[in-house]
Amino acid sequence: MSDDTILPDDPGRDPDMMAAELALGLLDGDERATALRRMLAEPGFAQDVDMWRARFGDWFAAWPDASPSAAVWARVDRSLDAPRVPQADAVLRPNRWWPAATAVASAIAAVLLAIVVLRPAPPQPVPAPAPVASAPLPTAPATMLVAAIDPGEKGPPVSAVYDPATAGLRVSAATLADANQSAELWIIGADGTPHSLGLLRTTGASTFTVTAANRAQIAAGATLAVSLEAVGGSPTGQPLGPVIATGKLSQV
C-alpha cells in the first residue's frame, strides 16, 4: 500500500486517525460523542471522515470474496480435537507454514507501527480548577442524536448528526436529486406531521441550524425523511413528491 492511499487529500496535513476510527466504527462512548461533535464544528475533520469512508469502501469492494476449502476446515477441526501435548522434537521438525505465518505477522506489525507513528499524541489533561462552594453544579452535555437515512437503490445510507447544544444538524454528502428536482429534508416527530428542515445540497455535505419551532420535534425515535420536490422545495410546507429515504434518530 503506497503512502498516497492512506493520507488525506491535502498532502500538507497529517492524517487525523480519529476520523479513520470513526469511519470504521471503532469509537464508542465519550470518544464517539467527541468525534461526532468535531464533525459539526470542524469542516476539515468532517471531510476527513467522508474521505476515509469512501476509501475504506473502495478497499472493501476491491477485496475479492474467498471461502476456505474443505481441507482447511478439516485441519481446523483436527487441531481443535487433538490433545495439546508438547512435542520434545517439535523444534527440530520443519514446518512448511512457518514462512507464511512469519510474513503475516510482519505485515500486521508494520500496520500497527504505522498507526502508532501517524496517530497524533493525545492532548495532556488540564487540571480542573478547585470547586467553589457557591458555584452551581455543572450540567451534563446534551446527548447527540444520529440517524442513517437509507435511500434504497439510490445509494448507501446517508448519515445525519444533530447536536442539541448548538441546534446544528449535518447530513453527509449525497446526490439524491437531479438538476430538475430538489431533495428536501423533513423531521417527523411526536405530532406525526412532517416539518421541513431545508434542502439538501447537490454536492458536499449539508448543514442546518434547526429553528426553535422544529427543535421540539427532534428527539430519539423521530424520523428524518427525504422527498423529491420541484426545484426550490415544496411551496405548501408539506411534502408533495415521493419520499425516497427515511431513517430514525437514536442517542449516542
Q: Assign residue 59 a region (left: φ > 0; alpha: ψ between -120 and 50; beta: otherwise).
A: alpha
pLDDT at 19: 85
Q: What is the pLDDT of residue 116?
A: 45
Q: How far is CA 3 from the centre of its chain?
A: 23
| Cα–Cα nearest to 121, from 6, 32, 14, 8 | 14
Q: CA nearest 228: which of 239, 215, 212? A: 239
What's the predicted TM-score (pTM) here? 0.51
pLDDT of 113: 46
pLDDT score at 13: 52
Q: What is the pLDDT of residue 161?
A: 92
Q: What is the pLDDT along the chain (252 residues), one digit of tens a residue?
A: 444 444 455 555 566 788 888 888 888 888 888 888 888 888 888 888 888 888 877 777 776 766 777 787 778 777 776 666 555 444 444 455 445 545 545 555 444 544 544 555 556 666 666 665 555 555 545 578 888 888 877 677 888 899 988 989 999 877 888 888 898 999 998 888 999 999 998 888 889 999 988 888 899 899 999 999 999 999 998 999 889 888 889 887
Cα–Cα distances (Å) from 14 to 1, 8, 48, 66, 191, in that order, read 17, 7, 11, 34, 47
Q: Catalogue all structural domains in the chain, each as residue range(s) with its CATH number.
A: 1-63+92-123 (no CATH), 145-251 (2.60.40)
If you count them, how many residues does the chain have?
252
Question: CA 222 to CA 26: how far, in whole Å?
Answer: 26
pLDDT at 239: 92
CA 85 to CA 103: how far, in whole Å? 27
| DSSP secondary structure code for residue 150 in this structure | B
In the prediction, which pLDDT does 4 show?
Answer: 45
